[in-house]
Structure 1
């Protein structure tokens, strides 16, 4: 068994037993590693200490239960291993910046830690060859965009520290909140856009201020003027590397699948191909894709 396989086995066990008591020593013994080596290896491959990861996954599951109006916060706290309402509230606020009570009132979108598929870090697929893992399909290919595409939508500043890497930093999901706002206001654009193609774009990162800009919009067809906060954004012409993602449903596509694909694409595939690209990335969402729920990550290659 490879070392990463041992950690993946432990991660899988944690996921299946989040409502039970889980000790680091028990996990280490289960995968035949010393507690010292297990903890070092776990943190290296999962980017979180063992017990911190368990807490964050429990909080992620608890969020789903908080969306059920007939469940008491205390019952959810005890179900996921927190000794009291107060301990659960403290952990929740430290992680997401709001209390469980505040979440139940407003239901903001939150960044949560997603169960990793460690094996993806050790697989290097060829272009045009699908990778199937955990009901997610990835395929990477090149494409030349002959002319620029124009989109119209909304933009927001996002704090780098609380949003990247996706799924590792917790808190309010600012891009997700922006998409929610855009979908509420986009009816005004109906006669000027192609609703089948939407675009999210991260760009203009400012390391000194610790922010980047995120745009959420839809493909523009023709001219449009508005007194609202809508702006236009361009996907420039050029040569792109594209990571296509398919998932069994839309919610999984824009959360778990996007998280895992992004980590694989930017953390494993692109570095191993020694490719450099312009300082922005785009997410294309297709609402009428023949394959069901799919999207693409686009990065523009530097010549």
Structure 2
């Protein structure tokens, strides 16, 4: 068994027993490692110590369970291994900056700790061959774009730390406000194509420590809108990573992070492909019925 497979066994076990007390000896034995080497390897592969990972996974699950209004907050706490409402509230507020009560009254989108699928760092698939893992269906192919596609939307600046920590830390999603603003205003943009794709573009910023993000919708060619920005996908060859999930929230958070990591950290480097300095997240809409998304990157000539 490879080292990553040993750690994955314990990651899967933790997920199925998330409410149980943290037992490093038991986890190390499952991985056939000493506690010292287990913790060292876990931190290297998962990017967090086991105890911190378990706490952040509990908090990630809490953000979903708290939206079930018929469930008491105490019940959520007990389901996740907390003995008191107070302890749960203290950890939740330290993680996300607000209390569970405040979150339940005014839900927001958080960056949260994702359960890792370590095989995505070590398994290389061919083009047009689906990769299926833990509820994820992912496929990569090449597409030729023959004419320019236009988009109109809004742009914001966000800290690079958000990208670096995506899927491994917890906090408010700085891009959620941008998407909400676009959806609130998009009906005022006559050039948008009805039922056209939505797109999120990540690209470099002139300010150190930040990146730019464009959130918009597909528009008629050569059109603009006052107060909004434009983006164009220009003709050329693109690598497109297509992936699916059970619902849009899972798609746009956990699965997007895993697909992004697989494409940029594993697939592109190991195929020796260099791309233009932007990536595009493309999908039909933010509707809960949207279960498929694509990441587009343009091959550099």
Q: TM-score, normalised by structure 2?
A: 0.90
Uncovered stretches (5+) of structure 1, i.e. residues with no partner = none
RMSD: 2.2
Uncovered stretches (5+) of structure 2, i.e. residues with no partner = none
Asked whether the equivalents of residues 281 and 297 of structure 1 are also in contact (C-alpha less than 8 Å), the reply is: yes
- In structure 2, C-alpha distance between the alignment counterparts of 1:207 and 1:37, rounded to whole Å: 40
**Structure 1 partner of 2:291:** 293
- CA deviations on 1:207-229 (whole Å, 9 max, x unpaired) are 62x221111111101565645x4
**Structure 2 partner of 1:221:** 220
Asked whether the equivalents of residues 192 and 223 of structure 1 are also in contact (C-alpha less than 8 Å), the reply is: no
**Structure 2 partner of 1:61:** 61
**Structure 2 partner of 1:90:** 90
Question: How many residues of Structure 1 are paired with residues of Structure 2 in the alignment?
Answer: 297
1:231 is the counterpart of 2:229: yes
Q: How does 1:246-257 map to 2 (within 5 A)?
A: 246-257=244-255
- In structure 1, C-alpha distance between the alignment counterparts of 2:206 and 2:54, rounded to whole Å: 33
Asked whether the equivalents of residues 163 and 173 of structure 1 are also in contact (C-alpha less than 8 Å), the reply is: no
- In structure 1, C-alpha distance between the alignment counterparts of 2:206 and 2:191, rounded to whole Å: 35
1:99 is the counterpart of 2:114: no
- CA deviations on 1:263-287 (whole Å, 9 max, x unpaired) are 1111111111222222211011135
**Structure 1 partner of 2:10:** 10
Q: TM-score, normalised by structure 1?
A: 0.89
State the 1:201 CA deviation: 0.5
Pick closer, same or farther for the CA change 1:102–1:297 going to 2, 3 Å.
Answer: same
**Structure 2 partner of 1:203:** 203
State the 1:194 CA deviation: 4.0
- CA deviations on 1:154-213 (whole Å, 9 max, x unpaired) are 2222122134342123211122332233223322236642423111101123462x2211
Asked whether the equivalents of residues 192 and 217 of structure 2 are also in contact (C-alpha less than 8 Å), the reply is: no
Asked whether the equivalents of residues 108 and 177 of structure 1 are also in contact (C-alpha less than 8 Å), the reply is: no
Asked whether the equivalents of residues 56 and 169 of structure 2 are also in contact (C-alpha less than 8 Å), the reply is: no
